[in-house]
Amino acid sequence: MNTVHAPEQGRVADVWRDRLALLLESTGEGIFGIDMAGCCVFVNRSAAQQLGWPAEQMLGRNMHELIHHTHADGRHYPECDCPIFNAFRRGLPCRIDDEVLWRADGSSFYAEYSSHPIVENGEVQGAVVTFSDISERRRAQELSRVRELARHQEAVREAERTRIAREIHDELGSLLVALKMDVNWLAKRVAEREELGAKCRGMGRMIDTAVDNVGRIITDLRPSILDHQGLWAALEWQAQEFVDTAELDSDLQVHVAAGVPPPEGALAIAVFRIFQEVLSNIARHAKARRVQIRIAVDDPPQPVLYLDVRDDGVGTTVASLDDPRSYGVMGMRERAAQFGGTLTIDSAPGLGTRVRLVMPLPEEAAS
């Protein structure tokens, strides 16, 4: 049996102490220790950097008062409720990920921290605390929740649009057809009275206009081609409708690789609404003379949809596109992001605008 004598034991202890000190300094997590009064007895480099304090200014300070004094909403955080201190006062180790720590400059950040009692010879001497900044993770989670809520709200809106379109078609459409038939019936019986016949013909024309308007409203609410023939047909139809009515020089190209069926559901609706918004913006704001539209879908097994729309209109500034009040642009970008797509807009005053949507399609769309 080997015996380690006192001097050698001391050297071993020094080696391990040095290694532990090096480990504390090299880790990315913030680590500090507190005594039974809650005052800092050691702190590593990462903790000092994350908290914005020089390490020597933290030693001997009450850590709750220094970095944990206030809740995220501004309420005072009593020391008696502090989970960090409860680790040595009540023997309650903890791991918390929904609170903030405070920096030297008065700013705060969401942290995930744990606190464990330090026990020596059966007695608690204090606690060791590790923490890391999880602000980015929290922001990602919040963004995910916001996008999920937006997706739900959009689904509700689309369902309501579908319901309204169906009711308009079934109720108002039927009434207009019946009214047209009655006017035609009346016109035949007053044919010998020219003024009444002219009035009936005028009424018939107004009814025809109303029928056309009702059809346009129904299509805007929920184009039936999207449900009956799918996204590819709906995009081509929408592009052709725009080309036919915008009175612009146009160049429309559509290419969908063989074997790529159109996506359905919320993704299809999102792409279609983005396309509608792009074309609507050109019609309302661009003052363009020419528009170029490209719709392309890559080959399987990982197809990607590309929508590329360019105009030679008045253009706009980057600041205008990034303005928080540019709700149309924000809406298009958010719709794209919900499904892993990206929407980029390149524009400058007098140089027109290019909008490009890149949308990866789900695997089932390529099967």
Q: For domain 6-133, give its CATH number from 3.40.50.1470, 3.40.190.10, 3.30.450.20, 3.50.50.60.
A: 3.30.450.20
**Contact (CB, 8 A) for 122 and 37:** no
Mean pLDDT for the stretch of residues 320-330: 85
Residue 81 tokens, joined: 């409720």
pLDDT tens-digit series, residues 75-119: 999 999 999 999 888 888 999 999 999 999 999 999 999 999 988
C-alpha 306/C-alpha 342 separation (Å) is 10
Residue 233's nearest CA partner among 224, 243, 242 is: 224
What average pLDDT does range 240-248 have in this prediction?
A: 86
225-367 maps to CATH 3.20.20.140:
no
Structure tokens at 33: 């220790």
Alpha helices in 27-134 (DSSP H): 45-51, 55-58, 63-67, 83-89
For the chain, the structural domain boundaries read 6-133, 136-222, 225-367
CB 43 within 8 A of CB 32: yes
Task: Name beta bridge partners: 360.
Answer: 304
CB 313 within 8 A of CB 350: no
- Using a pLDDT cut of 70, give the percent of the chain over it: 92
* DSSP-assigned letter for residue 71: -
pLDDT band of residue 163 (cuts 50, 70, 90) is confident
